[in-house]
Chains A and B, each alone.
Chain A
């Protein structure tokens, strides 16, 4: 069985102008969403308290709100979580009350409705811890990019390193932009997912680059664009299959993994789709724009190896 017919040769690079427009529009929307709407940061980042309670039967949110209101939690955000029996309550840091006590009081108020209410989860994060996390998360992203830049620069060539980092920034911005646009909560697991997207998308990009390098050395004739197009075509089946299997599993995770892991799975699904597209178009187009030529990728010393590969 095959996804693409034998000998399929698509003029993918010929449409790279179109891809540049497409990416630009996506990036503009993403940046616009991030700036205008901002991220819906979870309490991991903002600090605050979250209480998840499961009732024996489906419960109206109004009832919970009323109970909380009576106890002075009028600012609480109340929502169903997963099922109508489960209720999630978010509290901002409150004035004059011991932060760590907040969750106990909120739970007791919710238990007031029925004593069979079960405490499922409590998360309290101090504002200072959240700040540190934001800082650390940003730094981690930066370190990951620098590490990758160095590795790809050493293994390939600096233009490939720059190309892969452009693709990564592209993927990360669009994934984060997606969360801003649809106002999906951005919490610690989502941050982890975004970092995993970096790993995944890079994986994809490297496979294409590897083929480009190989073909530059092997193919005597042909323009740069042509060689890159051939390389992208040769790796296209693999790119689609791997993304496909990964997506299969991620969709299983999204559907069956439980409510807590939803954001994580969603971020990865968006990231894998964007990452697949970017490894075909963004990374390669960047390399073409920077004017890579055959001479750049010839092995410096091992001349005999090149001779060996001559057909």
Chain B
């Protein structure tokens, strides 16, 4: 009696061994490391490695190990001081084509890597880093699209020589006014044929012949989808240039983007780079009119008044030579003549042509670079938060055109090398398709993360020890078996979390703690039943059998209901709450296995197949 078939014992053994194997990587430490990846066209190869070696030799830092990975070079240091010291030096030695990023690399033996075992993936709240939730302004994406259509329609009507009175854009729709019904009908046909994705209809009012053009629902969706995708791509470019290892940029819902930057330290800088919508415009200075008059409110037609960063007024022509959209590449460096920070810019074909023509005609005249940035601020209006968009326009450089130039040229007048670098980064990373706003930000310092791990670990261990002592005293031999199951349960949770590479968060640790408390429940149910059976005068063997059998359906019912709660938590929750739900769900499943099948296997091994007078329970 009370004997498991061999396959069941084997299964328990296999699960236990696999669990131990995949939980193992978490016992190994992590090396402070640097991950070097190439940006743009460069490749990471032996040359890169020798350049890094050279740079480190100059600093007198010896590394633990260097590993060539796919498209990446991993440099392991002996201490985090070495790692930090080396960072700037290596960045300088490699130049702009490479991005070094600080990271922690697990120090695993080869055979563990061979079986694909990895340590648990720690969430930002445990390892430190920045989490940003970004809302994409879809309304503005739609308005921009409408703006585009309005200008396309204008061009179309002109080309077809169809005279209209006025074209105006009202929010999401474009209204064209005609003076005869005939022209209106012609226009409806023309626009309808040309733009099949637009809704076109007449909305005549009191003697006016109006055509209303609007985006079809499908087209609106497409515009929004595109805006989100484009923004994700742009944000990814910006994030990559920040030099952070394992960044994650993901869509959330239909209008949100989550950016996670493990290890990032400076939230101000990150937000500035992510949220910036900076662009440049090149314009000629208006030297024919007086700046003083303009300051006093008499701005001449064809010109606008701008201010330099130090507040000096400048009069610029309204016509833009080239805009940021025509910039294909930008890098920062130092101006060779003056040694001041500069941004080197390359233009696309159209931009280059225009720049060449304008500079050709205007040698000797001053040209200005205008820095344009859209900032969103939140104001409280009648107790409600309202977003206000503000456009900041500053002249960052004004210089005389010495000779005609075209495709490649440089912009100077920036205050610091850092500013030059940020500007180059923004220009290179491209523009956002729609304005964004940061709606949630969570920054966790690395020391807090470490504290959380330590405290979480300590509380799991203390709780575990207390429960184990209690079980051993209360249920004696059976209690010890339950203790084994409890430890095994913990190992299995860690193994599954490691295998799934699910993110372990602080609430996740709390979930584990809770599971430890509740995991003994199944065993308590079984053991109480066994005691009852013995009290009813049944034989020890029969009591074991009956105890496990009768408790089974209760355990299933009780656990499934808890599982329902975990599933609900998972489906509604974000980040940390999801982590809690995942560990809770895994814990319920593994505890059922260890508490029902695992303990039975051990109990069978101790008591099974022999005559037993009494049970130590």
Please state if B452 and A124 are interface contacts (CB–CB under 8 Å).
no
| A237 located at the interface, meaning its Cβ lies under 8 Å from any Cβ of chain B in the complex | yes
Q: Is the interface of A mostly helix, strand, loop or mixed?
A: helix
Q: How many residues on chain A are close to B (CB under 8 Å)? A: 81
| A206 CA to B565 CA, complexed, in Å | 14
Smallest CB gap from A143: residue in B: B568
A237 to chain B, nearest CB (A): 6
- Shortest CB-to-CB span from A132 to chain B, Å, is 10
Residues of A within 8 A of B525 (CB): 207, 238
A248 touches B463 (CB 8 A): yes
A93 & B456 in contact (Cβ 8 Å cutoff): no
Given A99-B378, A99-B438, A151:B524 Cβ within 8 A: no
Among A120, A195, A203, A258, which residue has its beta carbon within 8 angstroms of that of B569? A195
A246 touches B518 (CB 8 A): yes
CA distance A188 to B566 in the complex (A): 15
A residues 196-233 touching B (CB-CB < 8 Å): 196, 198-200, 202-204, 206-207, 210-211, 214
Q: Which residues of A contact B455 (CB under 8 A)?
A: 256-258, 261
Q: Is the pair B473, A199 in contact by a Cβ cutoff of 8 Å? A: no
Name A174-206 residues within 8 Å CB distance of B: 188-189, 191-192, 195-196, 198-200, 202-204, 206
Q: A98-B378, A195-B565, A248-B470 are in contact. Are A206 and B557 (CB under 8 A)?
A: yes
Contacts of B502-527 to chain A: CB distance below 8 A: 506-507, 509-510, 513-514, 516-518, 520-521, 524-525
- Contact call B561/A129, Cβ cutoff below 8 A: no
Binds B, one of A29-37, A134-142, A287-295: A134-142
The reply to whether A199 and B517 form a contact with Cβ atoms under 8 Å apart is no
On chain A, the residues within 8 Å of B535 by CB distance are 6-7
A72 lies within 8 A of chain B by Cβ? no
**A234-B532, A238-B528, A264-B507 are known contacts. Are A203 and B561 too (CB-CB below 8 A)?**
yes
Closest to B562 in A: A199
- B10 sits at the interface (CB 8 A): no
Whether the pair B267, A104 counts as a contact (CB closer than 8 A) is: yes
Q: Let me know if B441 is at the binding interface, CB within 8 A.
A: yes
Contacts A97-B377, A258-B455 hold; do A248 and B517 have CB atoms under 8 A apart? Answer: yes
**Most chain B beta-carbon contacts within 10 A, residue among A96, A257, A265:** A257
Which of B268, B440, B473, B550 has the most chain A CB within a 10 Å cutoff? B440
Determine whether A118 belongs to the interface, using a CB cutoff of 8 Å to chain B. yes
Query: Is there an interface contact between B474 and A241, defined as CB atoms closer than 8 Å?
Result: yes
Interface residue total, chain B, C-beta cutoff 8 A: 78
A100 touches B443 (CB 8 A): no
Instruction: Tell me, yes or no, whether B229 is within 8 Å of chain A by CB.
Output: no
Q: Is the CB of A237 within 8 A of B528?
A: yes
* CB of A260, distance to nearest CB on chain B (Å): 6
Asked whether, in the complex, the Cβ of B577 is within 8 Å of the Cβ of A188, the reply is yes
Q: Pick from A210, A248, A257: contact of B467, CB below 8 A.
A: A248
CA distance A206 to B555 in the complex (A): 9
Please state if B516 and A249 are interface contacts (CB–CB under 8 Å).
Answer: yes
CA distance A168 to B334 in the complex (A): 68
Contact B462 A203 (CB under 8 A): no
With both chains docked as a complex, state the minimum distance between the C-beta of A135 and any C-beta of chain B, in angstroms: 10
Known contacts A192-B580, A200-B518, A258-B452; A100 and B275 CB within 8 A of each other: yes
Q: Which residue of B lies closest to A210 (CB)?
A: B554
Report if A241-B441 is in contact (Cβ < 8 Å); known contacts: A95-B380, A261-B506.
no
Q: Does A103 contact B (CB under 8 A)?
A: yes
CA distance A71 to B416 in the complex (A): 26
Tell me the bound Cα distance from A52 to B528 in angstroms.
Answer: 48
Query: Does A121 interact with chain B (Cβ within 8 Å)?
Result: yes
A255-271 interface code vs B (CB 8 A; 1 in, 0 out): 11110110011001000
- Docked-complex contact A125 and B440, CB < 8 angstroms: yes
Contact assessment for A196 and B514 in the assembled complex, using a CB-CB cutoff below 8 Å: yes
A-B contact count, CB below 8 Å?
Answer: 245
Is A249's CB under 8 angstroms from B514's CB?
Answer: yes
Is residue B7 within 8 Å, beta carbon to beta carbon, of the partner chain? no
B136-153 vs A, Cβ < 8 Å mask (1 yes, 0 no)? 000000000000000000
Q: Which of A126, A128, A147, A265 lies at the interface centre, i.e. has the most chain B CB atoms within 10 A of its CB?
A: A126
Q: A136-175, CB under 8 A of B: which get 1 and which 0?
A: 1101100110011001100100000000000000000000
A77-102 residues at the B interface, CB under 8 angstroms? 93-101
* B576 contact from A188, A242, A257, Cβ within 8 A: A188
CB contact under 8 A between A140 and B474, given known A100-B275, A104-B267, A253-B510? no
- In the complex, B379 has a CB within 8 A of chain A: yes
If A192-B580, A238-B528 touch, whether A249 touches B442 (CB-CB below 8 Å) is no
Cβ of B445 within 8 Å of any chain A Cβ, yes or no, is: yes
Judge whether B27 is part of the interface by a CB distance below 8 angstroms. Answer: no
Is B2 in the interface zone, CB < 8 Å from A? no
Mark A31-60 against chain B: 1 for CB-CB distance below 8 A, else 0: 000000000000000010000101000000
Known: A101-B271, A188-B577, A207-B554. A247 touches B517 (CB 8 A): yes
| Interface assignment of B451: CB less than 8 Å from any CB of chain A | yes
Q: Which of A122, A248, A249 is most buried by chain B, counting CB atoms within 10 A of its CB?
A: A249
Contacts A192-B507, A200-B562 given; does A250 touch B441 at CB 8 Å: no
Establish whether residues B568 and A140, one from each chain, have CB atoms under 8 Å apart when the complex forms. yes
CB nearest neighbor in A for B465: A252
A260 vs B451: C-alpha distance in the bound complex, in angstroms? 11
Which one of B271, B507, B521 contacts A189 once the chains associate, using CB atoms below 8 Å?
B507
Other 13 A-B pairs with CB < 8 A, given A151-B564, A192-B581, A257-B509: A121-B443, A129-B439, A189-B576, A192-B577, A195-B568, A206-B558, A207-B554, A241-B520, A246-B518, A250-B517, A257-B455, A261-B507, A264-B510
Q: List 9 A-B contacts (CB under 8 A).
A: A126-B378, A147-B564, A147-B568, A151-B564, A196-B565, A210-B557, A249-B466, A258-B456, A260-B506
10 A-B pairs closest in CB distance = A199-B565, A249-B463, A246-B517, A126-B439, A249-B517, A258-B455, A122-B443, A104-B268, A140-B572, A252-B463
